[in-house]
Amino acid sequence: MALLVEAGLGADPWTVFTQGVAGHTGLSLGQVVIVTSLALLLVWIPLRQRPGAGTLANALLVGPALDLSLTVLPTPGHLALRAGFLAAAVIGTAVATGLYIGAGWGPGPRDGLMTGLRDLGLPLVLARAAIEIGVLFTGWLLGGRVGIGTVLFALAIGPAVGYALPRLRVADAHPSPLPARPS
């Protein structure tokens, strides 16, 4: 998220939302991430989603990591460097998602909202699209920064996570036995 913010090309929908809320509350971006994550976990209750260690780590650690990163990351001036920050954000998000979901630690607060809506019968694609469009529009109305980076992130993150997730999935600790080989 910090890479997207510092790139200045527009952020992903949730960061646009975070920027908008932060601009109206005086909270830091990281504090808004924590409050939003905890609020989403409350929404999980009627959706009957179960948090895991990764869920809680995501909810409580991403915000402080964002605030810390924003204090140490430079703001690139050259467009090529800004594009590099955007690409690194996509790759970093895909790898991080692959690591905590692939390890079986549970979905992040935002992902659990999506899977909860899916479990209620809404197709996953529609659930994800509705959530992303809703938070993007709300964030934009609140003054969050939308730009070409928003569009590029939206187009790239699905394929990037799709590539990373199967490669970072932790093998089952109790694999089923191999079938007997024919003689």
Cα 50–chain centre separation: 18
Average per-residue pLDDT in the chain? 88
What tens digit of pLDDT does each residue of 85-143 get? Answer: 999 999 998 898 888 777 888 888 988 888 888 889 888 778 878 888 899 999 999 99
DSSP, residue by residue, 97-138 = HHHHHHTT----HHHHHHHHHHHTT--HHHHHHHHHHHHHHH
Q: Measured between alpha carbons, how far is 112 from 121 in angstroms, rounded to an integer?
A: 14
Which tokens sit at 110? 């935002």
With a CB cutoff of 8 Å and minimum separation 6, the contacts of 162 are none
Cα 168–chain centre separation: 16
Q: Where are the domains of the chain?
A: 2-72+79-168
Q: Measured between alpha carbons, how far is 183 from 174 in angstroms, rounded to an integer?
A: 26
**Average pLDDT of 11-18?**
94
Q: Measured between alpha carbons, how far is 65 from 79 in angstroms, rounded to an integer?
A: 25
Write down the pLDDT at residue 15: 94
Q: Measured between alpha carbons, how far is 161 from 92 in angstroms, rounded to an integer?
A: 10
Q: Measured between alpha carbons, how far is 58 from 89 in angstroms, rounded to an integer?
A: 16
